[in-house]
């Protein structure tokens, strides 16, 4: 499997061997990776080469290290299609995963100038301000800050936003969420995100998505800022030409 006459660097070939082991289910998430020496002997390369390969895979988050314990196989990232206008609950159930939420804020606030502009309402209009950690199988995936004009979905409660807002809006309130504009940018977890998303202090990457959704009648339904853990998520889009 290792071709020493190839122009492809040996450490890169070892990386591929380990990646394939992960992809083919030879190693499971949480398993400890065999020692450097094992690869060095099996493929007749130096331990330096194996170390380089492992470091690269740690940086790419296929593997993670625990001091004094060793190197482990990471959970694979969830691949999310950017195309459909879906909810977090729908995205998770499409994968057979259980979605849940932890609420860190549920308030009704008067719209300030910025919210009024973005939601296309008058200043001081009552707005739901909801902050939820979204979890998949109990693992924190994203921190979501949602703003919805209160008159659009009456009776929204802390208990209801524990499950799907889209489901409540569509099935109970008869609203039709029709379109959205969304941006995606790279950021680094701030203090609150480090705590609520349970990521490393000091530089954990986060993917920030901002979505503005509209109802069938053209009214703005919500503005949402979602910070997704970059070690858990990758986004996918199909292109055509």
Contact positions vs ligand 16G (CB under 6 A): 87-89, 144, 146, 164-167, 209, 211, 222, 224, 226
The span from the CA of 20 to the CA of 18, in Å, is 5
The number of angstroms, rounded, from the C-alpha of 209 to the middle of its chain's C-alpha atoms is 10
Nearer to ligand 16G, 27 or 88 (CB): 88
Among 80, 87, 82, which residue's Cα sits nearest to residue 232?
80
Report in angstroms how near the CB of residue 116 gets to ligand 16G at its nearest: 19
CB of 210 to ligand 16G, least distance (A): 7
Q: To the nearest whole angstrom, how small is the minimum distance from the Cβ of residue 194 to ligand 16G?
A: 20
Beta carbon of residue 55, minimum distance to ligand 16G (angstroms, whole number): 32
Q: Cβ of 38: how many Cβ atoms within 10 Å?
A: 11
Structural tokens at position 208: 């920030």
Q: Compute the least distance from the CB of residue 232 to ligand 16G, in Å.
A: 14
In the bound state with ligand 16G, the residue whose beta carbon lies nearer, of 89 and 220, is: 89
Min dist CB 211 to ligand 16G, Å, is: 4
Q: Which is nearer to ligand 16G, 15 or 222 (CB)?
A: 222
C-beta closer to ligand 16G: residue 52 or 164:
164
Nearer Cβ to ligand 16G, position 37 or 98?
98
Nearer to ligand 16G, 49 or 101 (CB): 101
């Amino acid at each position: 499997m290792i071709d020493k006459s190839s122009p492809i660097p040996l450490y890169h070939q070892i990386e591929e061997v380990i990646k394939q082991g992960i992809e083919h289910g030879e190693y499971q998430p949480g398993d400890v990776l065999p020692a450097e020496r094992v690869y060095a002997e099996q493929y007749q390369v130096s331990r330096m080469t194996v170390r380089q390969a492992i470091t690269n895979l740690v940086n790419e988050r296929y593997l993670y290290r625990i001091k004094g314990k060793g190197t482990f196989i990471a959970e694979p990232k969830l691949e999310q299609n950017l195309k459909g206008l879906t909810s977090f609950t729908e995205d998770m159930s499409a994968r057979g995963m259980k979605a849940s939420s932890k609420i860190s804020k549920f308030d009704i606030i008067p719209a300030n100038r910025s919210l009024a502009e973005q939601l296309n309402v008058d200043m001081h209009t009552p707005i739901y301000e909801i902050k939820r950690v979204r979890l998949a199988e109990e693992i924190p995936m994203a921190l979501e800050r949602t703003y919805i004009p209160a008159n659009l979905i009456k009776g929204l409660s802390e208990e209801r936003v524990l499950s799907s807002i889209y489901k409540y809006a569509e099935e109970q309130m008869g609203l039709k969420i029709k379109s959205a504009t969304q941006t995606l940018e790279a950021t680094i977890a701030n203090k609150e995100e480090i705590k609520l998303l349970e990521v490393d202090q000091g530089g954990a990457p986060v993917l920030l998505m901002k979505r503005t959704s509209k109802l069938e009648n053209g009214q703005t339904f919500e503005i949402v800022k979602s910070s997704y853990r970059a070690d858990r998520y990758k986004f996918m889009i199909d292109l055509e030409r």
